[in-house]
Amino acid sequence: MAERSTAIGAQLWGMFSNFEDQRVDVGDAEIFLRRGGDGPPLLLLHGYPQTHAAWHEIAPDLAADYTVVAPDLRGYGDSVGPDDPATADYANRVMAEDLVAVMDELGYEEYMVAGHDRGARVGYRFALDHPDRVRKLAVLDIVPTLETAEAMDYRYAKAMYHWLFLAQPHPVPERLIGHEPTFYVDHLIENWAAYPARLADEAVAEYHRCFEQESVVRASCEDYRAGLSVDLTHDRATREAGESIDVPVLAVWGGASGTVSFDPLAVWERWATDVRGRGLDCGHFVMEEAPEETLAELRDFL
């Protein structure tokens, strides 16, 4: 596994001042996480182009009632993935298996899961593949990957071009992003957030730091390559088998995000037996743009 810089800024440490950091070896990856609080275990999974820092606004409040575990997904942030990854190494199924191993190492057999963006995709695959582990699932600002791919007409493809760009063969997107990684992260925030200024400077600086590492850019591209290949295969198999998520599901989305192209609750009702949720006054980055509303939804649900 590749070496990874861990120059986490002092300001970010302040966001998680009552959390401890830990690394867990899961075989072909090493997962970095922060853990804090006391109570039932709650696993928080971040999205793209972020790290566990995306939860900084609400994780400390959740830690008042739960044992919060906030990892970086394999290859993202300060987690490390395979040195020369294949796309299959970044399938949602594989990343969910990482987290089973992490939670086993921490001593948790059952837990609640909340995921945003890519983390929510890992989360729903987690609930499908490991129904004995997940007690409740919150999915923030997504619909299932297969639903997104099948609905992608030219209008949606233009708005969501990054799905197609990042899935291009290595090393094309990596080279282009690597030329100005900070610019690319800022471009995504400006385009996906309804209120970009609400993202804390400290958190954005953390996203910048991580995307300046070639291995993070590579891992994130492999994640999207998996999203338009092996993840679709797994989703189709789930649908063809008539399988569903049988634990309670909370779906929350940004009212100004691309997710409103769908009727999110109606879509999730095709994949889960018990669904609730609503849109919030924000864009894609719901935990950072609308932290109080997101926290309230999670508290009510959990």
Is there a contact between 45 and 71 (Cβ–Cβ < 8 Å)? Answer: yes
Q: Kindly name the residue from 46, 52, 234, 284 that is annotated as catalytic.
A: 284
Q: Kindly name the residue from 117, 223, 231, 235 that is annotated as catalytic.
A: 117
Secondary structure (H, E, C), the chain:
CCCCCCCCCHHHHHHCCCCEEEEEECCCCEEEEEEEECCCEEEEECCCCCCHHHHCCCHHHHCCCCEEEEECCCCCCCCECCCCCCHHHHCHHHHHHHHHHHHHHHCCCCEEEEEECHHHHHHHHHHHHCCCCEEEEEEECCCCHHHHHHCCCHHHHHHCHHHHHHCCCCCHHHHHHHHCHHHHHHHHHHHHCCCHHHCCHHHHHHHHHHHCCHHHHHHHHHHHHHHCCHHHHHHHHHHHCCCCECCCEEEEEECCCHHHHCCHHHHHCCCECCEEEEEECCCCCHHHHCHHHHHHHHHHHC
Half-sphere exposure (CA, 13 Å, Cβ side) for 300? 13
- The first and second tokens of residue 38, run together, are 């006391």
Q: Is the peptide bond before 264 cis (omega within 30 degrees of 0)?
A: no
- Active-site residue, 274 included: no
Report the largest interatomic distance among the alpha carbons of the chain, rounded to a whole angstrom. Answer: 49
- Active-site residue, 235 included: no
Residues identified as active-site: 117, 284
